[in-house]
Amino acid sequence: WAKAEGKARWVAYDPDRNAREVARFTLSARMPAAVESEEFYVDYQPIVRLSDGVLTGVEALVRWAHPEFGRLGPDRFIGLAEETGLIVPLGRWVLRQAVDQSRRWHDRYGDRAPMISVNLAARQTEEPDLVADVSTIIGAAGLPPSSIQLELTESAIMGTTGGPLRTLRELADLGIRIAIDDFGTGYSNLAYLRHLPVHAIKLAGSFMEGVGSLHPDAHSDETIVSTLVALSHALGHEVIAEGVEDSSQADRLREIGCDSAQGWLFAKAGPPEDVERLLDEQLFTAAVRQRR
Ligand code: C2E
Ligand code: MG
Ligand code: MG
Ligand code: MG
């Protein structure tokens, strides 16, 4: 078919690009069946309170166990799912997994069950049924709404008006926590921030490079982070730092007054059993502390 479009087409032919497009097509064609047949699964990454190191939350991160291509990360298919609209059923599926997991953790750990944070695509806030869906799923599990947090990226949330903004307000009114993901990477209208029904701000991992570092260029990252922490606190929002990879970053974030952190320093995203091992160890630590 390329030939039919004439010579120019042959000149423009780019095998890499072609391969990428075939891969995109193959993935998006399979996705509906994959949602049905549960080829997707959810990993959980711990969120740790910096004042005492307690695991207080986890982020649910979807993965695809593709029969041919193996395990695929969300960067390979979330964009596609947003383009095709499949993010709506996929996102609902992820939420249901997270809620089921939260139910099991509440049964096992009671009040110590970690809050579960679920990513929400902008496309999902345009769904008229979203609030009813979320409320039904959480209600059916008999969970307090505050056990679930919904994360929207800064670019998805900023400039949200009309229906989607009303949707966020309704979700917040139900008692569900709303967080802004990757904060600081998008177009930030700080004045707009105070009109949003937001509980937490997640500081983008890209700022962490200079935090706790002795390199002279690092100072600006720390200035940005401490300013964003102060601003968020002034607006009554909790702050979670993302992409924390070493202990000097965690130490500095604690000094700055950042509430919580998430990153490879603490744990990578993994199956629920990994989180349970950490929670069980903490129970043990608490028991030891009490005995002293
Ligand atoms: P995100 O929501 O910002 O999630 C954090 C990403 O950073 C995850 O990548 C996580 O594995 C990675 N990460 C965690 N700690 C560190 C660290 O210390 N250093 C570095 N360099 N990276 C770290 P992942 O799992 O590949 O997810 C990528 C993105 O895909 C997520 O970014 C989120 O935007 C999206 N995503 C994942 N699951 C879902 C979902 O169920 N629905 C939607 N709409 N988006 C999702
Ligand atoms: Mg996220
Ligand atoms: Mg993020
Ligand atoms: Mg990301």
**Residue 37 confidence (pLDDT):** 82
* pLDDT score of 57 more than 90: yes
**Residue 3 confidence (pLDDT):** 46
Element holding 8 (H helix, E strand): helix 7-12
Q: How far is the centre of ligand 1, averaged over its atoms, from the C-alpha of 267 (Å)?
A: 13
Please determine, for the modelled complex, whether the ipTM score is greater than 0.95.
Answer: yes
Mean residue pLDDT of the chain comes to 89
> For the whole prediction, is pTM greater than 0.95?
no
Q: Which of 3-17, 28-42, 71-85, 138-152 has the lowest mean pLDDT?
A: 3-17
**Residue 26 confidence (pLDDT):** 85
- What is the DSSP code (8-state) at residue 270? B
| Nearest alpha carbon, ligand 1 atom 7 | 243
Q: Which of 34-43, 73-82, 234-243, 248-257 has the lowest mean pLDDT?
A: 34-43
**Residue 65 confidence (pLDDT):** 95
Q: What is the pLDDT of residues 128-177, one digit of tens each?
A: 999 999 999 999 999 999 999 999 988 888 767 788 888 999 999 999 99
| Nearest alpha carbon, ligand 1 atom 34 | 119
**Ligand 1 pocket residue status of 61, Cβ below 6 Å:** yes
Contacts of 271 (CB under 8 A, 6+ apart): 43, 44
Q: Which residues, listed in sequence order, are joined to residue 47 by a DSSP beta bridge? A: 57
Mean pLDDT of 82-101: 95
Atom of ligand 1 nearest to the CA of 62: 38
Q: What is the pLDDT of residues 187-208, one digit of tens each?
A: 767 777 888 899 999 999 999 9
Q: Which of 93, 242, 264 to mutate to test the pocket of ligand 1 (most atoms within 8 A of CB)?
A: 242
* pLDDT score of 283 more than 80: no
Q: How far apart are CA 243 and CA 263, in angstroms?
A: 4
Higher-pLDDT residue of 145 and 13 is 145
Give the confidence band of 186 by pLDDT, cuts at 50, 70, 90.
Answer: confident
Q: How far is the centre of ligand 1, averaged over its atoms, from the C-alpha of 74 (Å)?
A: 7
Contact present, 36 and 260 (Cβ < 8 Å)? no
Q: How far is the centre of ligand 3, averaged over its atoms, from the C-alpha of 204 (Å)?
A: 6
Q: How far is the centre of ligand 4, averaged over its atoms, from the C-alpha of 207 (Å)?
A: 13
| Nearest alpha carbon, ligand 1 atom 3 | 182
Mean pLDDT of 57-81: 95
CA distances to 18, 54, 64, 236 from 51, rounded to whole Å, are 51, 8, 35, 18
Which long-range contacts does 263-272 make (Cβ < 8 Å, 24+ apart)?
A: 263/205, 263/208, 266/46, 266/48, 266/55, 267/45, 267/46, 268/45, 269/43, 269/44, 269/45, 269/59, 269/61, 270/43, 270/44, 270/45, 271/43, 271/44, 272/44, 272/101, 272/104, 272/105
Q: Which of 40, 117, 119, 124 to mutate to test the pocket of ligand 1 (most atoms within 8 A of CB)?
A: 119
CA distances to 44, 101, 105, 144 from 273, rounded to whole Å, are 10, 11, 11, 23
